[in-house]
Amino acid sequence: MDQKSKTAFGKPLPYYFLWLILPGLSFLFLYLFRRKPEWAELYARELFPKIVFLPRHLVRLFPISLLAVLILLGGATLLFFLFRLLYRLIKGLDRRVLGRHFLIVLIVFVSVITPLYYLNFGYTYHRLSLPDNLGLSLESSSKEDLYRASLWISEELKPLSFEVKRDETGLFVPSLSNQQIYREAGLAYANIAEISDNPFIKKFVYHGPVRVKPMPEPLSYLWSYTGITGIYFPFLVESTVNSHVRPDERLATVLHELAHSYGFAREEEANFFSFYAGIHHPDMDFRYAAWLHAYIHVSNALYKEDKNLHNDLWESLPQGVQADLRARNIYWDRFEGKVQEVSTQINDFYLKSNGQSSGVKSYGEVVDLILAYYKEESGFR
């Protein structure tokens, strides 16, 4: 082989294109799963828990967020290579050689992360819908439906709002420590698998313990500028939450990210499991946070239909609930800006590219699932 036809990595350049077989196979299965959701469902039920089992348990051994470590080390490594590249350009290294280096690194990088992403998470976007799995009937709902569901949620909230711990300003503070929150969250899914009469929840939701990690405080503060409260990072099989947000939102987010780690990728479905697992949690902090989060989604939908009904319901809420809802709004008002707009656009593109046609609006589509659950539980039709 002519040495000129080889790269500096010791192999002919066409050799590295063989790596593209891996993403090619990944996209082939994506094509099949998009057209056969029942195949994706079989994957999510049977293969996904086995694929992530070992990395999930390895990640649990580390008390700190590996994503935070990756961000810090990755940022430092990127800066190092950028300065190194500039230095080599200044020194006059052949740009064609640098171009080949970059192309090889790009090929290998794409070839590794593509199957990792889809095997560890991406395919679960295309499983059967949660209503199909749970046997819930989604129907068009009127403003009366929204009002009844909002009233139902508010009635559950009221007694809890007087039982949970509050600070001197009247705002909710968890009685659990931060470490207890991240540890006790996993019990929610083990609990519903035990107590639920639904065969799907009983058998296919809980796949063993998961350790949710808090993003360190300085990074969490900066993270709030994106408007994001948590992330499931499939390349590490790790769920990380923003530790700087209001505690009630953090509790709901922990349960939301756990749903992702159990193979429920769609945002409205993760939100529903955050609600469902939360209201059945043995600890009242989680129950309060779950009902409060549900109230926000359903009452916001009611507000769009009938502001007067919404305002009447608001006036009936205890002062503690009103204070917590105001505190959330005040918190997020501080972080509005261009960064959040760009972050929302990126998240919207990401969700749509994974088959969620509503994009970031899909978070609010949990309302339909909550209404269906409410009708099922109350017998109201």
Q: Are residues 299 and 166 in the same domain?
A: yes
281 and 258 part of one domain: yes
For the chain, the distance separating the N- and C-terminal CA atoms, rounded to the nearest angstrom, is 76
Residue 368 is which amino acid? D
- Which are the contacts of 365, defined by CB distance < 8 A and separation ≥ 6? 267, 268, 358
Residue 135 lies in a domain: no
Q: What is the pLDDT of residue 72?
A: 83
Residue 132, in any domain of the structure: no
Bridge partners of 233, per DSSP, are 238
237 and 112 fall within a common domain: no
pLDDT of residue 104: 76
Q: Note whether residue 268 is domain-resident.
A: yes
Give me the pLDDT at residue 5, please: 46
Q: How many domains does the chain have?
A: 2
Residues 205 and 325 in one domain: yes
Reading the block at residue 348, the tokens are 């919207």
Residues 109 and 189 in one domain: no
| Rg (alpha carbons) of the chain, rounded to whole number | 24
Amino acid at 353: S
18 lies in some domain: yes
Q: Which residue ranges in the chain fall short of pLDDT 50?
A: 1-5, 8, 381
Kindly report the number of other CB atoms within 10 A of residue 118's CB atom: 22
User: Do residues 121 and 145 share a domain?
Assistant: no
* Residues 122/232, Cβ–Cβ less than 8 Å: no
Judgement on whether residues 114 and 163 belong to the same structural domain of the protein: no
251 and 275 in a single domain? The answer is yes
Select from 279, 277, 237, 276 the least CA-distant residue to 260.
237
Domain end, chosen from 126, 152, 183, is at 126
Residues 105 and 237 in one domain: no
**69 in a domain, yes or no?**
yes
pTM as predicted: 0.89
pLDDT at 4: 46
For 297-336, b/e burial (b = at least 16 CB within 10 A) is bbbebbbeeeeebbeebbeebeebbebbbebbeeebeebe
Cα separation, 235 vs 214, in Å, equals 17
**At which of 95, 126, 157 does a domain end?**
126
The verdict on 91 and 196 lying in the same domain is no
So what's the pLDDT on residue 1?
Answer: 40
Same domain, 179 and 309: yes
Domain housing 148: 140-378
Is 131 part of any domain?
no
Q: Where is the domain boundary, 101, 126, 151?
A: 126
Cα–chain center distance at 48:
17
* Helical pair 267-279 and 366-378, crossing angle rounded to 10 deg: 40
Alpha carbon of residue 343 to chain centroid: 15
Same domain for 308 and 184?
Answer: yes
13 within domain boundaries: yes
Give the pLDDT of residue 3: 47
